[in-house]
Structure 1
Amino acid sequence: MRIEQFERGEASILHADLDSFYASVEQRDHPHLRGRPVLVGGGVVLAASYEAKAMGVRSPMPGHEARALCPSAVTMPPRFDMYIEASRSVFEVFRDTSPLVEGISVDEAFLDVSGLRKISGTPVEIAARLRERVRTEVGLPITVGVARSKFLAKVASAVGKPDGLLHVEAGRELDFLHPLPVRRLWGVGAKTEARLLDAGISTVGDIASFGEKHLCALLGRGTGTHLYALSMARDPRRVETGKRRSSIGAQRALGRRVKSEADVEATLLAIVDRLGVRLRKADRLTRTVVLRLRFHDFEKVTRSRSLREPTDSTEAVLAVARGLLDDAMPLIRERGCTLIGLSLTNLDDHGAVQLALPFDGDDHASDLDIAVDSLRGRFGRDAVTRAALVNRHHGDDAPMLPD
């Protein structure tokens, strides 16, 4: 079956991407940090300001390496509640700009502004106004790429950083795209880039000239077809709205210092508590728990386990997570652990799942979960905590965008 590609007459897709989001929030809230190199996160750099990036700092990078590259950098502990609040404020601007918004993460989204010309102006005028509103209403710099496709809009925002607006005019896509390095294409990581460079392919234009057939022979059919299509600016995807997340998760960097097994388990407890609240707030149920670990040698492992019935109970999720951690503990003892992450996947909407026997009248979380959620919502996240977490610091928590 032949699929027709949707072709826009004008560049009307915006990719809006906040600049060094976490670091920009810290600079916004602490005026003395403006213009100075800022790192967010101690053990691992979660974000670096552009002043730090100019010194070679990148994320994720071990904190000691970042401070060696940029000794004058100011290191700030992450404040995720503030980042989520800032993200929500920015997304309010997005949704006030266009009814068609597709969130990608806490700091970026696609907007489709086609059909708004008569009431809001040209796409470039809309993008300029969006940038000004985010700057004045939220206090953060944001870069916007404008193009006929999502792929090109995202590339344009990356090229236009920091704090810029880049318009790829309709009909001029290949003129913009072909001189760029191959790493600008989605799907080109370090290994693929190295293979392309070994074959004498350094720019997107080189990929287009190399041809789809030869590219498939070099990289495999799937990757070759994908990269050739992008090199020719082919991307028919539309901006999707109303799409619910298929997973929620969070991770915490533990740093390079050796952690005891009790410290690792306490970090897992804290993550599970946070995810349980988010799961119930989103009115979702999870079927699968995924544990991710990173070791001192930067290698990673993933372990998962599915439940017999979907749940939003913190204790049910914790039991599975603890089992996964116990299974992985020999590896942690041998190789050390610098990051622990947990994801809840295979999500269902609450109420869309058939109750299992015995029927108890409610398939929701326990009364204890609901009571604790209420107390934390009213008096703050730390109003109620586990005894095992008292007086403990659990590293750098990097949550995904809430549902």
Structure 2
Amino acid sequence: MSRTVRVSAARRNWGEDDSGCDFMHVDMDSFFAAVELLEHPELVGKPVIVGGSSARGVVTTATYEAREYGVHAGMPMSAALRLCPHATVLPTRHYIYRAASAAVMEILREITPEVEQVSIDEAFLGIGGARRRLGSAVEIGNLVRERVSNELGLTATVGIASVKFVAKIASTQAKPDGLLLIPQPQTVPFLHELPVGALWGVGSRTQEVLHRIGIDWVKELAEADRSRLVRALGIASAHKLQELAQGIDRRQIETKQVDKSISHEETFETDLRSAGQIEAVMLRQSHQVAGSLRRKGLLARGVSIKVRSGSFKTLTRSTSLPTGTDTGKTIYEAACRLFRQLPLPPDGIRLVGVKAERLLSAALGVQALIDEDPKQRRVETAADQLRERFGSDVVSAATLLSERGKREERHLPKDDLFPQE
């Protein structure tokens, strides 16, 4: 559920010349909600919110009718219903979304073998080879949309460009249920119509930094003095972002399948009854997960937890992240937020697990590496190197542990198995 800024001027017809436009980005429209509407046709055209319905529930996605009221993914359900009180709330059902996603990707792979799935509801396609069989880039884009609609009853938006990330931006600007071709000569003019926040890789923190140095538009970023950008953003981020603003992106389609998730879980010999002890376990697990992400060159855009009670009742909760991450601190904070939404079982907890989900290649994760605290990532990367050299127990997240110790403990109804901190 993208909240990327859209500019009406950017959605116009940029021309019909698709020579060299071999990149396509397919993005399903309001995917989870659209899948739900297949089973609830009476709700089509009405505001629908998918997510947790409890007092602490969170919005997973919403139809465009609900988004018009300001509803967006990640906001508390209570806030969403204040904005749109007449919306229908449906529970999140990941198993049907996974099945629908598999059907969409099967269609895409029948059109071209060059498919790079980057999340459950979007993929890049390399269409250079498919042209000989299926026609022009626009004809292939329309074929994708027609097949998804006719065979699955869902709508997809398509962006087509000569540069990979521009295809992604084009699909964002074309939403919902649209197709936008950016001919190769129009790449830079198209980008320069956009505010800098629309550029793939510029999150809220980076946008604030750029605003402070007088850069609010992609055109201004492309023409900015490199030394000013380096002072504001650092060498790597300044170089990468300015190249993107100038329409330069050398990445190709990566058909190698990315892991769907990375998780660590632990079953305890004695059921735990202290929230502080459980969060300490999640702290360790979060850093284990983050270390695996960094080793594999992956970023997570979602976090989930699993908690099993002493009576073997299993609860799971998940959340989306605003940007991809490979830092234990970010994963831990998300896991703790989820854990604190759960009722603490009176019979204790026998198992806890933390999972990183919605994984994508770190090569696509410009925004995460810029918007996250670079010092935190450097610290964790340095810790990776120490563990690799001296062993896994040589270093731990002391700062986070000390912060946890300062927080007020929540205890389960029975006597605590551990002394209060």
TM-score (ref. length: structure 1): 0.63
**Alignment-mate amino acid for residue 176 of structure 2:** P
Which residue matches 2:286? Answer: none
- Verify: 1:29 aligned to 2:39, yes or no: yes
- Verify: 1:56 aligned to 2:70, yes or no: yes
In the alignment, which of 92, 102, 110 is matched to residue 124 of structure 2? 110
Q: CA deviation at 1:149?
A: 1.5
- Verify: 1:17 aligned to 2:27, yes or no: yes
**Alignment-mate amino acid for residue 35 of structure 2:** V
Which residue matches 1:81? Answer: 95
For the residue of structure 1 that corresponds to 2:228, the secondary structure is: helix
CA distance in 2, matches of 1:235, 1:264: 52
CA displacement 1:71-90 (0-9 Å, x = unmatched): 11111001111101100100
Residues 26, 33 of structure 1: 8 Å contact kept: no
CA distance in 2, matches of 1:329, 1:37: 41
CA distance in 2, matches of 1:218, 1:330: 32
Q: CA deviation at 1:54?
A: 0.9
For the residue of structure 1 that corresponds to 2:183, the secondary structure is: coil
CA distance in 1, matches of 2:32, 2:341: 24
Structure 1, unpaired ranges of 5+: 1-7, 276-302, 307-326, 337-403
Q: CA deviation at 1:127?
A: 0.5
Structure 1 residues 265 and 14: CA distance shift in structure 2, 3 A: farther
- Verify: 1:148 aligned to 2:162, yes or no: yes
CA distance in 2, matches of 1:211, 1:116: 41
CA distance in 2, matches of 1:50, 1:264: 42
In the alignment, which of 133, 150, 171 is matched to residue 147 of structure 2? 133
Q: CA deviation at 1:52?
A: 1.1
CA distance in 1, matches of 2:125, 2:213: 37
**Alignment-mate amino acid for residue 229 of structure 1:** E
Which residue matches 2:408? Answer: 334
CA distance in 2, matches of 1:113, 1:255: 44
Which residue matches 1:101? Answer: 115
CA displacement 1:191-225 (0-9 Å, x = unmatched): 11112122221110010121323211222111111
Residues 151, 235 of structure 1: 8 Å contact kept: yes
CA displacement 1:341-372 (0-9 Å, x = unmatched): xxxxxxxxxxxxxxxxxxxxxxxxxxxxxxxx
CA distance in 1, matches of 2:348, 2:171: 38
CA displacement 1:129-163 (0-9 Å, x = unmatched): 10010011111111010001210000001111111
CA distance in 2, matches of 1:91, 1:256: 36
Structure 2, unpaired ranges of 5+: 1-17, 264-302, 305-316, 319-337, 358-379, 385-400, 411-421
Which residue matches 1:177? Answer: 191
Residues 44, 255 of structure 1: 8 Å contact kept: no
CA displacement 1:169-204 (0-9 Å, x = unmatched): 111101111111111223211111112122221110
CA distance in 1, matches of 2:258, 2:25: 19
CA distance in 1, matches of 2:229, 2:245: 11
CA displacement 1:200-253 (0-9 Å, x = unmatched): 211100101213232112221111111100000100111011334284355124
Which residue matches 2:369? Answer: none
What does residue range 303-314 of structure 1 map to in structure 2 within 5 Å? none
CA displacement 1:263-301 (0-9 Å, x = unmatched): 9947846x78xx9xxxxxxxxxxxxxxxxxxxxxxxxxx
Residues 38, 75 of structure 1: 8 Å contact kept: yes
- Verify: 1:216 aligned to 2:226, yes or no: no
CA displacement 1:42-90 (0-9 Å, x = unmatched): 2010111111111111111111111111111111001111101100100
Which residue matches 1:45? Answer: 59
Alignment coverage as a number of residue pairs: 281
Say what the alpha-carbon RMSD is for the aligned residues.
Answer: 3.2
For the residue of structure 1 that corresponds to 2:168, the secondary structure is: helix
Residues 215, 224 of structure 1: 8 Å contact kept: yes
For the residue of structure 1 that corresponds to 2:254, the secondary structure is: coil
Which residue matches 1:376? Answer: none
For the residue of structure 2 that corresponds to 1:46, the secondary structure is: strand
Structure 1 residues 176 and 63: CA distance shift in structure 2, 3 A: same
CA distance in 1, matches of 2:76, 2:217: 30
CA displacement 1:361-389 (0-9 Å, x = unmatched): xxxxxxxxxxxxxxxxxxxxxxxxxxxxx
Which residue matches 1:225? Answer: 239
Structure 1 residues 266 and 35: CA distance shift in structure 2, 3 A: farther
Q: CA deviation at 1:11?
A: 0.8
Which residue matches 1:260? Answer: 344
CA distance in 2, matches of 1:20, 1:332: 41
Structure 1 residues 133 and 228: CA distance shift in structure 2, 3 A: same
CA distance in 2, matches of 1:149, 1:173: 8
TM-score (ref. length: structure 2): 0.61
In the alignment, which of 212, 218, 231 is matched to residue 198 of structure 1? 212
Residues 211, 228 of structure 1: 8 Å contact kept: no
Structure 1 residues 335 and 236: CA distance shift in structure 2, 3 A: farther
Q: CA deviation at 1:255?
A: 8.8
**Alignment-mate amino acid for residue 122 of structure 2:** E
CA distance in 1, matches of 2:63, 2:43: 10
For the residue of structure 2 that corresponds to 1:61, the secondary structure is: coil
CA distance in 2, matches of 1:196, 1:113: 35
